[in-house]
Amino acid sequence: MATKRLFVLSRPKPSYSEWLVQIDLTNWLGGEEISSVAFSAKIKRNGVNVTSTVLNSSNNTYTTVLLKPFIRGGNHGETYVVTMKVVTNATPASKEEFYLEFTVNDNIPDID
């Protein structure tokens, strides 16, 4: 079964906000479990590595089925892509990259 690899936050994130995003990989994993994840981040328009700016590496985590990047910071008007390189516990291990895209906007009106 094909599984979505690009996840996009539906609303912009203010630069001062930070939170954990949860991405469920149950459909992709089948009976496998996540054994490791490498998190990184780049600016979408030019590919500059900004991992230390938009990810809190000490709070990035995962479970056997969930990716949990902790996003923070960023510059107003910029779009970022977080890459999550996943390895499973299968023999041989399954390997895949998943992506989270988000835009930073400090001019967000009240949103219900």
Could you tell me the CATH number of the domain that includes residue 14? 2.60.40
Please report whether residue 109 resides in a domain.
no
pLDDT given at position 111: 60
Across the chain, the runs of DSSP E, i.e. the strands, are: 6-8, 19-20, 23-24, 34-43, 61-62, 66-68, 70-71, 79-88, 95-103
Q: How many domains does the chain have?
A: 1
pLDDT given at position 1: 38
pLDDT given at position 84: 97
pTM for the model stands at 0.91
| Residue range of the domain that includes 66 | 6-103
Strand-strand pairing, 19-20 and 70-71? antiparallel
User: Which residues in the chain land under pLDDT 50?
Assistant: 1-2
pLDDT given at position 2: 47
Please report whether residue 88 resides in a domain.
yes
pLDDT given at position 4: 75
Assess whether the previous peptide bond of 109 is cis (omega < 30° from 0).
no
